[in-house]
Chain A
Amino acid sequence: MLFSEAMSTGFFNLAPLVVLFPGIGLLFNMVFGGRLPEKVVGWVASLAVGAAFVISILLAVSLSAIHGHAEIVSVTEWMSIGSLHLDWAFRVDTLSVAMMLMVSGVGTLIHIYAIGYMHEDVRFKGDPTRFQRFFVFMNLFIAMMMILVSGDNYLMLFVGWEGVGLCSFLLIGFWYDLDILGRPSLENAKAANKAFIANRIGDFGFLIASFLIFTYLGSLQFDLVFAEVEHVAQPVILTITLFMLLGVVGKSAQIPLFVWLPDAMAGPTPVSALIHAATMVTAGVYLVARSAPLYGTVPAAQEIVALIGAVTALFAATIAVAQYDIKRVLAYSTISQLGFMVAAVGMGAYAAGMFHLVMHAFFKALLFLSAGSVILGIERGYHAMSHGKKGHGFHHTDDEVFNPNDMRNMGGLKDRMPVTFWVYLAGTLALAGIPPFAGFWSKDEILLDASLHYPVVYWLLTAAAFMTAFYMGRQVWLVFFGKSRHEAAEKAEESPRIITAPLVILAGLSVLGGVLNLPHFHTLGHWLEYTLGELRISEFSWLMAGQATLIALFAIFLAWLLYGRREQAANEPDALKKLLGPAFVVFEHMYWIDEGYAAVFINRYKDLARFLAEVIDGRFWHDWLHDSVLAAGFGKLARFLADPVDLGLIDGIANGLADLTQWVASRLRRFQNGFVRSYALSVLLGVVLILGYLLFR
Chain B
Amino acid sequence: MTTPVKLLDFITILPVIFLAAWACLLLLVDLWVKHKRVTAYLAALGLAIGLGLLWYQAAWIGNAGFNHMVVLDGFSVFVNALLLLSGLLGIALAYGYLRRMGIERGEFYPLVLFSLSGMMLMAQAADLIVVFLSLEFLSIPLYVLTAFAYPKAASEEAGLKYFLLGAFAGGFVVYGIALVYGAAATTALDGIIAAVAEGRANLSLLVSGAALILVGLGFKVAIVPFHMWTPDAYQGAPSAVTAFMSSAAKLAGFAALVRIFALAFSSLSDDLIPILWGLSALTMLVGNLLAIPQTNIKRMLAYSSIAHAGYILMAFTAFGNPGVAEVSIAAVLFYLAAYTVTNYGAWGVVILLERAGDLGLEIGGYAGLGRKYPALAACMTIFMLSLIGLPPTLGLVGKFYLFRAVIAADLIPLAVIGVLTSLISAWYYLRVVVNMYMRTGDPEISPEPWALTITGLMAILTVLVSLLPGWLFFLASQARLNLF
Contacts and interface: CB of A to CB of B under 8 A. Distances in A.
Pair from one complex = yes
Interface of A: 76-80, 88, 661-662, 664-666, 668-669, 671-672, 674, 676, 678-680, 682-683, 685-687, 690-691, 693-694, 697
Contacts of A693: 274-275
Q: Contact residue range for chain B? A: 35 or more
Contacts of B219: 683
B161 interface: yes
Nearest to A687: B215
Contact of B293 (A88, A669, A687): A669
Contact of A661 (B165, B169, B289): B289
Interface of B: 160-161, 164-165, 168-169, 172, 204, 207-208, 211-212, 214-215, 219, 224-226, 228-229, 231-232, 271, 274-275, 286, 289-290, 292-293, 424, 427, 468-471, 473-474
Contacts of B424: 661
Contacts of B231: 672
Contacts of B275: 690, 693-694
15 contacts: A76-B468, A78-B468, A665-B289, A668-B290, A674-B232, A676-B161, A679-B228, A680-B168, A683-B172, A686-B215, A690-B214, A690-B275, A691-B211, A693-B275, A694-B271
A668 B286 contact: yes
Query: Residue among B160, B215, B424 with the most chain A CB within 10 A?
Result: B215
Given A668-B286, A693-B275, A676 B471 contact: no
Contact of A78 (B290, B292, B470): B470
Contacts of A79: 469-470
Nearest to B467: A78
Contacts of A694: 204, 207-208, 211, 271, 275
Cβ-closest 7 pairs across A and B: A77-B470, A679-B228, A686-B225, A665-B289, A682-B225, A665-B292, A690-B211
Contact of B229 (A76, A665, A679, A686): A679
Contacts of B172: 683, 687
Please report whether the interface of chain A is mostly helix, strand, loop or mixed according to DSSP: helix
Contact of B226 (A76, A88, A672, A682): A682
Given A682-B225, A694-B271, 19 more contacts: A77-B471, A78-B470, A661-B289, A661-B424, A661-B427, A662-B293, A665-B292, A672-B228, A683-B165, A683-B168, A683-B172, A683-B228, A687-B172, A687-B212, A690-B215, A691-B208, A694-B204, A694-B207, A694-B211
A488 to B, nearest CB: 43
Contacts of B469: 79
A686 B226 contact: yes
Given A683-B215, A686-B215, A662 B168 contact: no
Contacts of A661: 289, 292, 424, 427
B34 to A, nearest CB: 38
A672 B290 contact: yes
Contacts of B292: 661-662, 665
A671 B226 CA distance: 12
Nearest to B232: A674
Nearest to B286: A668
B468 A680 contact: no
A685 B168 CA distance: 13
Contacts of B224: 686
Given A674-B232, A687-B172, A666 B293 contact: yes
A679 B289 contact: no
A322 B14 CA distance: 82
A664 B215 CA distance: 25
A676 B159 CA distance: 12
B215 A671 contact: no
B298 to A, nearest CB: 14
A691 B176 CA distance: 12
Given A690-B215, A690-B275, A669 B290 contact: yes
A79 B470 CA distance: 6
Contacts of A680: 164-165, 168
B207 A676 contact: no
A76 B286 contact: no
A650 B208 CA distance: 45
B232 A88 contact: no
A672 to B, nearest CB: 6
A679 B224 CA distance: 11
Nearest to A686: B225
Contacts of B211: 687, 690-691, 694
